[in-house]
Amino acid sequence: MRREEWNRLRRNGGAKVAKEFKGLRWLLLRNWENLSPAQKGVIRDLEKANKRAFRAWQLKEELRDVMQMAPAKAKQALDDWLYFASRSRLEPFVKLARTIRHYRESIEATNEWGFTNGIAESNNAAIGRIRSAARGFRDPESFITMIMLARSGIAPSLPWAT
108-119, pLDDT tens digit by residue?
888 888 788 888
**Residue 162, Cβ density class (10 Å: 0-12 exposed, 13-18 middle, ≥19 buried):** exposed
All structural domains of the chain with their residue ranges: 2-113, 118-155
The answer, yes or no, to whether residue 154 has pLDDT greater than 90, is: no
DSSP letter string, 78-94: HHHHHHHHHTS--HHHH
Measured CA distances, 36 to 20, 42, 112, 127 (Å): 19, 10, 32, 38
**Residue 25, Cβ density class (10 Å: 0-12 exposed, 13-18 middle, ≥19 buried):** exposed
Q: Which amino acid is at 2?
A: R
pLDDT band at 162 (very low <50, low <70, confident <90, very high): low
Kindly report whether the global pTM for this prediction surpasses the value 0.85.
no
Alpha helical stretches, state H, the chain: 2-11, 15-22, 25-29, 37-49, 51-67, 71-86, 91-102, 104-113, 118-134, 140-152
Residues 68-111 have pLDDT tens digits of: 888 889 899 999 999 999 999 889 999 999 999 999 998 888 88
Please name the residues in contact with 152: beta carbons below 8 A apart, sequence gap of 6 or more: none
- pLDDT for position 33: 87
